[in-house]
Structure 1
Amino acid sequence: MARIVVVGSVATDEVVRLTERCREGAHLNGTMEVPRLGGGGANSAVALAAAGHTVTLVAAVGEDDDGDWQIEALARSGVDVSAIRRVKGGSTRSIVMVDPIGERTIVNLGRAKEEQPPARLLDIPADLVYVRTRAVGLAPLLAEKGRFCKVVAHIPPIEPGVFPAQVIVASASDLPPDLLAEPVTAGLMAAGTRLEWMVLTRGADGAEAFSAARHLRQPSPEVQAVDSTGAGDAFAAGLCHALVGGAEMEDALAVAVRWGSAKVGQDGSALAPETVAGLL
């Protein structure tokens, strides 16, 4: 299998299972569940490791008990934690509220951040790099890394040249109306001339991929929604899994939609190993 480096966050997700839909101004009831590993980087890394890839996560955790637990949980999931750095302060924690139809609302309580871009990225062997972070300043590192391997990056942020990558991924809900109408423009803004594909996820409506010459559509399968937390991260993991295996975008998009849909149909913040095994 392939060597994949994921740049992103690790979190402790404190889950509240709501008894009714989340509404503005409402007084809601719910039950607290056992905390679970989360964070966009961790969710994708865990799924890719379950698929048999050698996965290194470049991330930061705090110098606290949460940080210890996060690193241990990642290692148990088969993720290489040697590139995770401890930083002063607390680790990233999130409250995840999941309603009866599987929709989630996330409240970030704090984030562990590095003061400088992770230059160690250049020293890690990789066939593909996946970037799932809102941190800026990565452009020089990704431009250099992209000379030797494929780079897939998730936006936002949407700033000129923020993520030099061959593939940009975005959720339709994260793009302003003008860029949603011109998704290739959003991709070119973030990636520059290196861009080959702009991939747009649309939740239950599936996903699309745009290149200079093609527009692909992939519908989502019917699924009984349980927990939509991490569905986008599972989608990205499926996309990276397919692309690093040599798939063309049309096939890779189909794989990614299956992985994202499978996550909606199971509990947890990341795809479970047995779910990944079924997808393979």
Structure 2
Amino acid sequence: MSRVICAGHVNWDVTLRVDALPAPDGEATVESRVGAGGGSAANVASGLVGLDVSAALLGSVGDDSHGRGAVAELASRGVDCRSVVTADTGPTTVKYIVVDAAGDVFVLGSPGVNEAFHAADLSESTLEAAEHLHLTSQSPETAALLANRASEAGITVSFDPGRRIGDRGYADAIRTVDFVFLNDREAATALDEAAGNGGISDALNETTLVLKHGPNGAEVRDGDDRYVHPGYPVDAVDTTGAGDAFASGFIAARLDGASYERALSVANACGALTAAEPGARTQLSWDRLADLVEAT
């Protein structure tokens, strides 16, 4: 059985590399176009398997070529896809990811079925055999139910709610989890008590925060304690999926008993490797990390 269950979005990504991000009413030249599997939960599961941590995926795709391609790609990497639901209510979600020469990204999403799965689609036996549950962006109700089920089973839980943390009502789920991953923009939104963000800021005070600072490293805030790692300097090519790779590294290190400092070192190395290469899923491995990770 799998040590980690990753729950959330499974998408098909169409990545367009352009010479520059155009201004309004402007135009850019598309230098390349590549289609491949994506979605935060899928990316983290793939990264974990590369780091020798068995992972299962809970999510949903449409009954179409994109969905079949996304699942086949993950299965070929060793991800357990038996809990991926094929929904007949719509197509696989497609994200159009536009990347400029500096590695900066913006995303266009088409409607799809990546939130058609439910907490009940994860069997009790699969959950109880796991050591950790990682939640990514999904419906707030599903996130809260999964977090509660894992907590009752004595399984640790992490949550990366993504860019919509301020408007999706994730407070109930956050109160139940052990770790929450946020980048700087998400943290600014979520920790702004005056923003009327559905009690998110209060909920975050009850958990451990893992803050991703991009090229400036990352930190853990555990109560009054702070743990910081400065990151690794790389020339960014494509930052798509770097945060998911970071989560893979952090989870893998913590499951192996690493300190927060060591976990941040591994996580930053995973994020750096991914940002330095095109695409959302760099092939992570401990051998590839060896040149970057400090002996902490």
Cα displacement string for residues 69-107 of structure 1 (whole angstroms, at most 9, x for unaligned residues): 111111111100100001121001111111101111111
Equivalent residues of 2:187, 2:211 under 8 A apart: no
Distance 1:215 1:75, change over 3 A: same
TM-score, structure 1 normalization: 0.89
Alignment deviations for residues 233-254 of structure 1 (CA, whole Å, 9 cap, x no partner): 0011111111111112222122
**Preserved contact between residue 47 and residue 276 of structure 1 (Cα < 8 Å):** no
**Residues 8 and 40 in structure 1, CA contact (< 8 A), matched pair in contact too:** yes
- State the match for 1:189 in structure 2: 203
Alpha-carbon distance change, 203 to 24 in structure 1, aligned in 2, over 3 angstroms: farther
In structure 2, the partner of 1:76 is: 76
Matched with 1:134 is 138
Distance 1:31 1:225 in 2: 17
Q: Which runs of 5+ in 1 are unaligned?
A: none
Contact 2:16 2:34 in 1 (8 A): no
Equivalent in 153, 161, 166 of residue 159 of structure 2: 153
Are the structure 2 counterparts of residues 134 and 222 from structure 1 closer, same or farther at C-alpha, using a change threshold of 3 Å?
same
Q: Please point out which of 217, 228, 231 is paired with 1:220.
A: 231
Aligned letter for 2:16? V
Structure 2: tracts of 5 or more residues without a match: 291-296
Deviations 1:246-276 (A, max 9, x none): 1122221221111111111112211214x55
Quote how far apart the aligned CAs of 1:114 are: 4.5
Write the letter of the residue equivalent to 2:289.
L
How many Å separate the matches in 2 of 1:247 and 1:132?
23
Identity %: 24
Cα distance in 2 between the residues matched to 1:75 and 1:202:
31
* Secondary structure of 1:236's aligned partner: helix
Deviates more, 1:44-53 or 1:133-142: 133-142
Taking structure 1 as reference, are residues 186 and 252 closer, same or farther at Cα in structure 2, changes over 3 Å only? farther
Separation in 2, partners of 1:264, 1:243: 22
Amino acid corresponding to residue 149 of structure 2 in structure 1: E
The amino acid of 2:148's aligned partner reads A
Pairwise mapping of residues 99-118 of structure 1 onto structure 2 (< 5 A)?
99-115=100-116, 117-118=118-119
* Cα distance in structure 2, aligned partners of 1:229 and 1:113: 18
1:174 aligns with 2:176: no
RMSD, aligned CA:
2.4
Q: C-alpha distance in 1, partners of 2:177/2:159?
A: 6
For 1:251 and 1:160, the matched residues in 2 are separated by 29
Rounded to whole Å, the distance in 1 between the matches of 2:2 and 2:287 is 17
- Report if the CA contact (8 A) 2:9-2:115 is conserved: no
Secondary structure of 1:161's match? Answer: helix
CA deviation profile, 1:163-187 (whole Å, cap 9, x unmatched):
32111111111234571699xx956
Structure-2 change in CA distance of 1:34 and 1:244 (3 Å): same
Partner in structure 1 of residue 261 of structure 2:
250
For the 8 Å contact 1:104–1:227, the answer to whether it is kept is yes
Determine if contact 2:159/2:181 at 8 Å carries over to the other structure: yes
| Structure 1 position 279 matched with structure 2 position 283 | no
Contact 1:97-1:105 at 8 Å conserved across structures: yes
Task: Answer whether contact 2:44 2:248 (CA < 8 A) is retained.
Answer: yes
- Per the TM alignment, residue 120 of structure 1 is displaced from its structure 2 partner at its CA by 3.5
- The one-letter amino acid of 1:67's match is G
Number of positions where the alignment pairs a residue of Structure 1 with one of Structure 2: 274
Residue 85 (structure 2) aligns with? 85
- Contact 1:168–1:187 under 8 Å retained in 2: no
AA of the residue aligned to 2:20:
E
Equivalent residue, structure 2, for 1:144: 149
Name the residue aligned to 2:245: 234
Preserved CA contact (<8 Å) 1:14 1:32: no
Q: Once the 2 structures are TM-superposed, how far is the Cα of residue 230 of structure 1 from its aligned partner?
A: 0.3
Partners of 1:9 and 1:60 within 8 A in 2? yes
Tell me the residue number matched to 2:30. 30
Are 1:102 and 1:228, in contact at CA under 8 Å, matched by a contact in 2?
Answer: yes
